[in-house]
Structure 1
Amino acid sequence: MATILDPFCDLLLVGDSLAMVLYGETSTNNVSLQTMIEHGKSVVKGCSKSIIIVDMPKGTYEVSAIVALKNAKKILKETGCDGVKLEGGVKISHTIKLLVKNKIPVMGHIGLMPQQVKHPKNYKVKGRSLDEQELIINDLKAVEKAGAFSVVIEAVTEKLANKLTKLSKIKTIGIGASKKCDGQILVTEDLLGFFSKNAKFVKKYADISGFISKAIKKFKSDVIKRKFPSKKNVY
């Protein structure tokens, strides 16, 4: 998959959403550091052009900045990726600062933070109230000041996303934010149409699920009717 995406993308994020789209989990929280590393290795191996960023999964950076540094170094060393992504703003700014000080490129993540969501029903748009807007703006400023090279803005109102992008001195990457963000990102399986239900911010550019179903149905039919394997498929 990474090899197919690489020619068209500036950056590929190995996201902890793989817990949901590949392993059937109901949240991003049940994925280990080693799992992220193994997926990161595969993506790096398949790319020659794109910047590769790997998510630091829940529990690998919140305890302390020192623990975060140890785990971030492990990710970069074992995957060969270009940097890591952490969710949070003001609360983890000291951690971002330490990582950057140790020459580890960091992408921030503000707005809706999936690692903090305990139930699927709690995936809600952020920034509707003035208080929430202020908190998210402060998160942006904290991430920026700490030295992050870019920041993902997830599931906030378009008005707030526009304001954040205007205020930001670093590149903003939107997912459910605004077309005025400097870049956009989507889960690959979502944009390819692997699932019937998606968040409002997802646009399906293909119906891979339907295509796969038709192909498997035809394969099953050919097997039952003894049409496969044909003479072309045997030695």
Structure 2
Amino acid sequence: MSEPDGAPGPERSSALPAVRAEPPKRVRVQHLRAAKENGEKLTMLTAYDLPTARIFDAAGIDMLLVGDSYGDNMLGHSGTIPVTVDELIPAVRAVARGAKRAMVVADLPFGSYEASPQQAMASATRMLKAGGAHAVKFEGGRRVADHVRLLTDSGVPVVGHLGFTPQSENILGGKRVQGRGDESAEQVVADAKAIEAAGAVAVVLEMVPAAVAERVSGELSIPTIGIGAGAACDGQVLVWLDMVGMGGWSPRFAKQFAAVGAEMDRATRAYIDEVRAGTFPGREHTYWD
């Protein structure tokens, strides 16, 4: 018998693990591909510490990226280039301890993978063994296809990164949109196909025209994760400080979903006022014999 008008049809099961209290099911590489096949959007945020990872994980984020953005967002560097593997590993370890469901992806910072596939493997091994990451991410297309292949063949999931690649900012001439014009767009497509063929499980597309990102997303069988690349990507990622209004300068593509920075400022000023006025701590905050 057919369903009456307006009645709900059979519920389609999600390709992604459900968000539940205990025990959570980990997001794995097969879930990423299944989500793309089902047309389910993937979600990713950066995280650099345990409390933040716990909050995002409990909320149901699919992937947590311990990015080299740790450098300019948390360590005070002017960009990502100064970040080292040694600096990132404690952050990766903290995030991995806080994430029960999300896939934890660790960036390989500048200088830790470019020289050879073997260098990339050594850095990735540290991220998995010492940091507890489930996958690694690094920048580049055809030039790092052999790196992706070695890691994949060795059991390390790899997320690619194309378009604007912050580690190459100096040679790109600054924070500039990539993939504009037919020739540049073709290079992005060719790079994406090369790392897919090498075994990448997903690819981040940063600051590329929406039409180019849509084309790449349509031609790949692995998910695309956009950041400043339009809504046609298979998922989205943001730096969490930009997402909640904690950053300083914020790029055009970073929507602010909350004003956490302003609320922290308000709370800090209230704390200062109460301490100086002698109203904090009150009786309810004090131990008595």
User: What range is the shorter-chain TM-score in?
Assistant: over 0.9
Give the corresponding residue for 2:228: 176
User: How far apart, CA to CA, are the structure 1 residues paired with 2:177 and 2:148?
Assistant: 25
User: How far apart, CA to CA, are the structure 2 residues paired with 1:128 and 1:66?
Assistant: 33
Structure 1 residue 121 displacement after superposition: 7.3
Q: Does 1:189 align with 2:241?
A: yes
Q: Does 1:162 align with 2:179?
A: no
Amino acid at match of 1:155: M
Amino acid at match of 1:213: D
User: How far apart, CA to CA, are the structure 2 residues paired with 1:53 and 1:184?
Assistant: 14
TM-score by length of 2: 0.79
Residue aligned with 1:81, SS: coil
Q: Does 1:15 align with 2:67?
A: yes
The 8 Å contact of residues 26 and 120 in structure 1, kept in 2 or not, is answered as no
User: How far apart, CA to CA, are the structure 1 residues paired with 2:116 and 2:182?
Assistant: 30
Residue aligned with 1:185, SS: strand
Q: Which has the higher contact order (CA 8 A, sep 6+)?
A: 2
Structure 1 residue 197 displacement after superposition: 2.7
TM-score by length of 1: 0.97
Residue aligned with 2:106, SS: strand
Amino acid at match of 1:129: G
For structure 2, which runs of at least 5 residues remain unmatched after alignment?
1-51
Residue aligned with 2:281, SS: coil
Structure 1 residue 195 displacement after superposition: 2.3
Residue aligned with 2:147, SS: helix
Residue aligned with 1:109, SS: strand
Q: Does 1:58 align with 2:110?
A: yes
User: How far apart, CA to CA, are the structure 2 residues paired with 1:137 and 1:119?
Assistant: 20
User: How far apart, CA to CA, are the structure 2 residues paired with 1:221 and 1:202?
Assistant: 33
User: How far apart, CA to CA, are the structure 1 residues paired with 2:155 and 2:96?
Assistant: 19
Deviations 1:60-114 (A, max 9, x none): 0001111111111111111221110010001111111111111111000001100
The 8 Å contact of residues 27 and 118 in structure 1, kept in 2 or not, is answered as no
Taking only aligned residues, the RMSD between alpha carbons, in angstroms, comes to: 1.4
Residue aligned with 1:195, SS: coil
User: How far apart, CA to CA, are the structure 2 residues paired with 1:230 and 1:121?
Assistant: 56
1:1-40 matches, cutoff 5 A: 1-7=52-58, 8-40=60-92
Change (3 A) 1:71 1:224: same
Residue aligned with 1:153, SS: strand
Change (3 A) 1:185 1:209: same
Deviations 1:151-205 (A, max 9, x none): 0000001111111101111111011102111111101111010024310000000
Change (3 A) 1:196 1:75: closer
Give the corresponding residue for 2:125: 73
Residue aligned with 1:173, SS: strand
Q: Does 1:131 align with 2:178?
A: no
Give the corresponding residue for 1:150: 202
Query: How many residues of Structure 1 are paired with residues of Structure 2 in the alignment?
Result: 235
User: How far apart, CA to CA, are the structure 1 residues paired with 2:248 and 2:165?
Assistant: 23
Give the corresponding residue for 2:273: 221
Amino acid at match of 1:231: R
Give the corresponding residue for 2:6: none
Larger radius of gyration: 2
User: How far apart, CA to CA, are the structure 2 residues paired with 1:112 and 1:161?
Assistant: 12
Structure 1 residue 17 displacement after superposition: 0.3
Residue aligned with 2:167, SS: helix
The 8 Å contact of residues 27 and 119 in structure 1, kept in 2 or not, is answered as no
Residue aligned with 2:130, SS: helix
Residue aligned with 2:231, SS: coil
Q: After the TM superposition, which parts of structure 1 deviate over 4 Å for at least 4 consecutive aligned residues? A: none
Deviates more, 1:149-158 or 1:64-73: 64-73
Amino acid at match of 2:88: M
User: How far apart, CA to CA, are the structure 2 residues paired with 1:6 and 1:22?
Assistant: 20
Amino acid at match of 2:215: K
Structure 1 residue 119 displacement after superposition: 9.1
